[in-house]
Amino acid sequence: MGLLCGCAPLLGPKPLVVRDGRAVFAGHQLCAGDVIVSRVHGPMSMLLARHSPTPGDFSHAGVFGYAADGTPMVYHLRDGGRRAVKAKRYLGPHGVTAIYRHRRPEASDLMGQHLRQWLAENDIHRTPFDLFPDPNHFDEPPYNCNTFVNALYLGAGLDRPFEPPAPTPRTAWVREISRFVKNDWTRLTSAGAVVHNPAFREVVVWHNPRIDQRLTVGLEAFVDTIHSEVEAGRHFRPQAQRLPARLVAACCGRDDADYATPQVMAMHINLADAWARVSRRLMRLIRRDGDAFTKADARDLARKLALVHLEGFFE
* Superfamily name and number for 16-207: endopeptidase domain like (from Nostoc punctiforme) (3.90.1720.10)
Q: pLDDT for 68-77, tens place per residue?
A: 999 999 999 9
SS3 content of the chain, % helix, strand, coil (to 5): 45, 15, 40
Question: 260 pLDDT exceeds 80?
Answer: no
* 3 state DSSP class of 38: strand
Taking the C-alpha atoms of residue 266 and residue 285, their distance in angstroms, rounded to an integer, is 29
pLDDT the model gives residue 108: 98
pLDDT the model gives residue 249: 55
Class of residue 222 by CB neighbours under 10 A (exposed 0-12, middle 13-18, buried 19+): buried
Q: pLDDT for 175-211, tens place per residue?
A: 998 888 778 888 888 888 999 999 999 999 999 999 9
Sorting pLDDT into bands at 50, 70 and 90, what band is 256? very low
Neighbours of 129 (CB within 10 A): 24
Higher pLDDT among residues 163 and 263, named by residue:
163
CB within 8 A of 103, min separation 6: which ones? 199, 200, 201
CB within 8 A of 41, min separation 6: which ones? 5, 7, 10, 94, 95, 208, 211, 215, 216, 219
Q: Which helix (H) or strand (E) holds 262?
A: helix 262-289
Note the Cα 270 to chain centre separation in Å. 18
Mean pLDDT of the chain: 87
Question: 3 pLDDT exceeds 70?
Answer: no
Q: Which of 72-81, 135-144, 286-295 has the highest mean pLDDT?
A: 286-295
pLDDT the model gives residue 310: 86
* 3 state DSSP class of 84: strand
Q: pLDDT for 78-93, tens place per residue?
A: 876 678 999 999 997 7
Q: How far is CA 95 from CA 11, 106, 122, in A?
A: 9, 31, 31
pTM for this prediction: 0.89
Backbone angles phi, psi at 173, to 5 degrees: -60, -50
Q: pLDDT for 264-280, tens place per residue?
A: 777 777 888 899 999 99
CB within 8 A of 165, min separation 6: which ones? 52, 53, 54, 186, 187, 188, 189, 193
Under the phi-then-psi rule, with left for phi > 0, alpha for psi from -120 to 50, and beta for the rest, what region is 277?
alpha
Report the share of the chain in percent with pLDDT over 70: 87
Query: Which alpha helices (H) appear in 19-171, and where do they start and end?
Result: 43-50, 87-90, 107-121, 145-155
Sorting pLDDT into bands at 50, 70 and 90, what band is 133? confident
DSSP string, 42-74: SHHHHHHHHSSSS-SS--EEEEEEE-TTS-EEE
Query: Residue ranges of the domains in the chain?
Result: 16-207, 213-313
Q: pLDDT for 203-238, tens place per residue?
A: 999 999 999 999 999 999 999 999 999 999 999 887
The predicted model gives 89-112 an average pLDDT of 94
53-62, 102-111, 248-257, range with the lowest pLDDT:
248-257
Neighbours of 315 (CB within 10 A): 8
Q: pLDDT for 39-69, tens place per residue?
A: 999 999 999 999 988 889 999 999 999 999 9
pLDDT the model gives residue 6: 39
